[in-house]
Amino acid sequence: MRFKTAFLLAVILAAASLPAAVIGTNTPAQPLTRERIAALPSVQQPVWREYLERSERQMRADRAFLKKEMRKNGLTNGVAPHEVRGVRGIALDRPAEWYGQPEGRRIADIIVSFQTPAGGWSKNLDMTLSNRAPGEPFAPNNNSLFLVPRDNDQPQDTHWNYIGTFDNDATITQLRFLAKTVAATGARPGAAYRAAFLRGLDYIFAAQYPNGGWPQVWPLQGGYHDAVTFNDGAMLNILTLLHNVADGTNEFAFVPAKTRAKAGASLHRGLDCLFACQIVVDGRRTVWCQQHDVLNLQPASARNYEMPSQTSGESAQIVLFLMQLPHPGSNVVAAVRAAAAWFDATQLTNVAFKADGAEGRKLMPTPGNGPIWSRYYEIGTDRPVFGDRDKSIHDNVNEISRERRQGYSWFNDNPKRVLEHFRRWSLDHPG
């Protein structure tokens, strides 16, 4: 393992002194389409066709709902709500009684008002201001500010984007807040919050693919958003919530037994998908990609600079989640042990990604630093790879544009925590 780490480090540092080179081009992910479904074995086609048709019906219903509201209120162009990064104002760490007090209930009311007809929420909404007004869009402007021709991030409709989504902690955070509000307010005062929570669970159930995974956006938006998404913890957030709901403890005690059972079944299908997505190289399991193709579960691309690859950050989150499961079966143990071995083999030491004057951040020799991991690794070689907005793929982070070097997390130390926890966990769960 030490030899492989030293070899990777030598390759990275040697590349820094070579002329710039492009080692590949990122190709767009494939959405779920009727044509792709028609190419499946005939026995698999009906359930996928039904899923796609249901998504399309829900999309039409969501858009018709807003259009009707706007017409009723004499609006031609709704003013988008205030945009913030993440889920501002939705605190999940307050004392339990706070969620039943005026400020907690005020935010819960705002959350309910922004719930889409399908039952989810958009991302980057400020939940501290005011309730959604009739005819007001369900989402802020979530369009990319850096679009180029044939950009992977170009939405089909710039006015209907990420409605609703699991991206940036959306939907799951709102549901957790509502559950805390229900627990703090009781049956009658919390009835509206309870109904919104249960409708949000139905949204999760409806969005789940026949293979157990979840898209980033539902109803489906097309493009890479249709992929089974681990990026930013999207699928793990869902699985963790379903695990809590199925247990029915703490603030989730109000959930009906039938719904808890449905959450448990959904959780198990999701875990089966997670295991199926673990990348296998030469017969050995490794880790996961940020997103996997909706039908064949192979690693898939997302934005222009996010290529099919083995990812350290999202995979670290997955392994930590798996090690927290009670009574892990042999499939969990095998997945965790394989991923831990991969983390151990791909760690980098004596380098740091840091500012280099006007050049911006660069990977530079830094004795004693580490371990760190590249965000992306090439499948099959385990060499770090890096993408740019023009879809070019590089094996040297110092080659990509300054804007991308400055604006993206190309290295992290998340697997360090995994390996520390694994050393203790593995004693109780031998392979």
The catalytic residue positions are: 168, 303
State how far the Cα of 261 lies from the Cα of 242, in Å rounded to an integer.
10
Cβ–Cβ under 8 Å, residues 155 and 255: no
Residue 142, classed as helix, strand or coil, is: coil
Q: Note the residue count of the chain.
A: 431
> Which among 285, 152, 118 has a CA at the least distance from the CA of 227?
152
Q: Are strands 411-412 and 386-387 parallel, antiparallel or unpaired?
A: unpaired
Q: b/e string for 308-331 if b means 16 or more Cβ within 10 A? A: bbbbbbbbbbbbbbbbeeeebeee
**Strand, helix or coil at 311?**
strand
Of the chain, the end-to-end C-alpha distance in Å amounts to 19
| 76 Cβ neighbours under 8 A, 6+ residues apart | 70
Distance CA 70, CA 187 (A): 33
Q: Which residues in 29-46 are b (16+ Cβ under 10 Å) and which e?
A: bbbbeeebbeeeeeeeee
Fill in the amino acid letter for 206.
A
